Amino acid sequence: MKENIDDLTVFGGTPSFQEPLHVGRPNLGDRERLFERINDMLDRKWLSNNGPYVQELEQRISELIGVKHCIAMCNGTVALEIAIRSLELKGEVILPSFTFVATAHALQWQEITPVFCDIDPKTHTIDPACIEKMITPRTTGIIGVHLWGRPCDIVALEKIADTHHLKLLFDAAHGFGCSYKGRMLGSFGNAEVFSFHPTKFFNSCEGGAIVTNDDALAAKIRLMKNFGFSGYDNVIYIGTNGKMNEMSALMGLTNLESMADFIAVNYENYKSYQRGLDSLAGISLINYDQKEKCNYQYILLEIDESVTHVNRDQLVDILRAENILARRYFYPGCHRMEPYRSYFPNAGLMLPETERLVKRVLSFPTGTAVGPDEISKICQITRLAVQYGPEVKKRLSGYAANETTKSMVFEGFAV
């Protein structure tokens, strides 16, 4: 164990881990069952085009969530794009900037203007109180984003959408297996979109899904994700290729059978981090509502530099030197990425809570790839960095200044 700051790798110590610890290392279900399904798929020679494994996965997810329709997709981004198009959104759509850029891109890709709204600092999700002032005559919808497995204020968003006759879509990439007021995420709004990317606690290698209780909308989405085909050679609607293949579906089915185990591991990891970071001044671990179902997929911290002295980015550097690949989410905010920072250069003035949070949030490794021993080391290193915060900050700042000086001399600048 590291006992003083000279033991930290960033200051010359030995890395705590030989292999990198990732935030989103894929969880894997029963390999034997997976290989059985692969062999069955190969024997059938049915690899895509609404095969039996895709159909089974859709049915199992529908039953799990309690929703009428699940349409499996090749990935979550295409699912978002098709959901947006199926709802006939246009003009402007309101969404948080504090989300993965795919949420905004799925709109901009279809020449719909994303209007960035600020977040509630307590929940990190879109703030209903800020939405009303963003609505214009061109607004056609709202996209709420469930973050960290914690849902948006769905009741408030539904009320706003109903009052202003707007479509309501949820990006539920983080929300699979979670509930809101006892009801599973996936069954709210006009539709919800899941991602089954390998970084998610439940994955299908690559994939996603749109879920809805709207019969007409589901029928439309099924046409759109398969080039508009209705039957063997009858195209009745414009569409694209959003289909999930059989390999992804059978991976999803296999992991679905282990989902409860994945959640149990995530929960134990979460409790271990709670114990390891307890009472550490300036470090706040987000809380989950124990009354609701949750996937506990994210170990999310807020770093208060005024207390810790080391800021979030310096802590990232310290941890990465130890082979702990902690991540910043969702830095620097969609409004500061292209093309949005060029389109809306002053958007940050309307997003004070987003601007604050993107500088404070840090995600730690979890999932089946880590356990109590790894978590204990991660917490111990974090405690060490914060305990000696002023000295660590001073040394890191001096190191950075020296590196800048060396670079300027090398480039031939006067210093």
CA angle 234, 111, 89 (to 5 degrees): 65
pLDDT digits (tens, 9 = 90+) for 88-144: 999 999 999 999 999 999 999 999 999 999 999 999 999 999 999 999 999 999 999
Output the pLDDT for position 3: 85
169/273 same-domain check: no
Reference 225, options 104, 37, 86, 366; nearest CA is 86
pLDDT at 403 over 60: no
- Total number of domains in the chain: 2
Is the model's pLDDT at 283 over the cut of 70?
yes
Measured CA to CA, the distance from residue 28 to residue 34 in angstroms comes to 10
Q: 179 and 293: one domain?
A: no
Q: Is the pLDDT of residue 407 over 70?
A: no
Enclosing domain of residue 314? 259-401
**Residue at 2 is within a domain:** no
Dist. CA 85–CA 293, nearest whole Å: 31
Tell which of 231, 256, 281 closes a domain.
256
User: How far apart, in whole angstroms, are the C-alpha atoms of residue 100 and residue 5?
Assistant: 34
234 plus 292 within the same structural domain: no
Q: Are residues 246 and 273 in the same domain?
A: no
Does position 402 have pLDDT exceeding 90, yes or no?
no
pLDDT for 405 beyond 70: no
**CA proximity to 350, closest of 41, 14, 96:** 96
- The pLDDT, as a whole number, for residue 331 is 97
Say if 111 falls within a structural domain. Answer: yes
What is the distance between the alpha carbons of residues 214 and 216, in angstroms, rounded to a whole number?
Answer: 6
DSSP at 265 = H
Quick: pLDDT tens for 13-55. Answer: 999 999 999 998 999 999 999 999 999 999 999 999 999 999 9
Q: Is residue 90 part of a domain?
A: yes
378's tokens: 């991660």
CA distance 250 to 60: 12
- Tell whether 11 is covered by a domain: no
- Please tell me which residue, 270 or 399, carries the higher pLDDT value: 270
**Boundary of a domain, candidates 228, 256, 284:** 256
**Residue whose C-alpha is closest to residue 94's, from 133, 137, 142, 45:** 142
Q: Give the model's confidence band at 404: pLDDT under 50 very low, under 70 low, under 90 confident, else very high.
A: very low
Of the residues 205, 224, 256, which one is the last residue of a structural domain? 256
pLDDT for 170-206, tens place per residue?
999 999 999 999 999 999 999 999 999 999 999 999 9
96 - beta bridge partners? 117
**Residues 146 and 233 placed together within one structural domain of the fold:** yes
Domain membership flag for residue 355? yes
**Residue 254 phi, psi dihedral angles, 5° rounding:** -65, -45
Are the C-beta atoms of residues 385 and 284 closer than 8 Å to each other? no
Q: Are residues 102 and 232 in the same domain?
A: yes
Note whether 69 and 216 are same-domain residues: yes
Average pLDDT over residues 360-378: 97
* 412 has a pLDDT exceeding 50: no
Q: Is 208 helix (H, G, I), strand (E, B) or coil?
A: strand
Contact 246, 259 (CB under 8 A): no
Instruction: Tell me the per-residue pLDDT of 231-262, one tens digit each, with 9 for 90 and over.
Output: 889 999 999 999 999 999 999 999 999 999 99
User: Does residue 341 fall inside a structural domain?
Assistant: yes
Spatial contact of 217 and 96, defined as CB atoms under 8 Å apart: no
Going across the sheet that includes 139-145, the strands are 69-73, 208-212, 191-195, 167-171, 139-145, 92-96, 113-117
**Percentage of the chain lying above the pLDDT 70 cut:** 96
Q: Mark whether 307 and 390 lie in a shared domain.
A: yes
281 and 171 in a common domain = no
**Do residue 170 and residue 241 come from a single domain?**
yes
Quick one: 247 and 264 in the same domain? no
Q: What integer pLDDT is reported at residue 397 of this predicted model?
A: 85
CATH of the domain at 347: 3.90.1150.10
Q: Please give the pLDDT value at position 415.
A: 33
Residues 215 and 238 in one domain: yes
Q: Does residue 16 form part of some domain?
A: no
Check residue 409 and give its pLDDT: 39
96 domain-assigned? yes
In CATH, what number is assigned to the domain containing residue 51? 3.40.640.10
Sort strands 139-145 and 299-303 into parallel, antiparallel or unpaired.
unpaired
Q: In whole angstroms, what is the distance from residue 287 CA to residue 349 CA?
A: 28
pLDDT above 70 for 63: yes
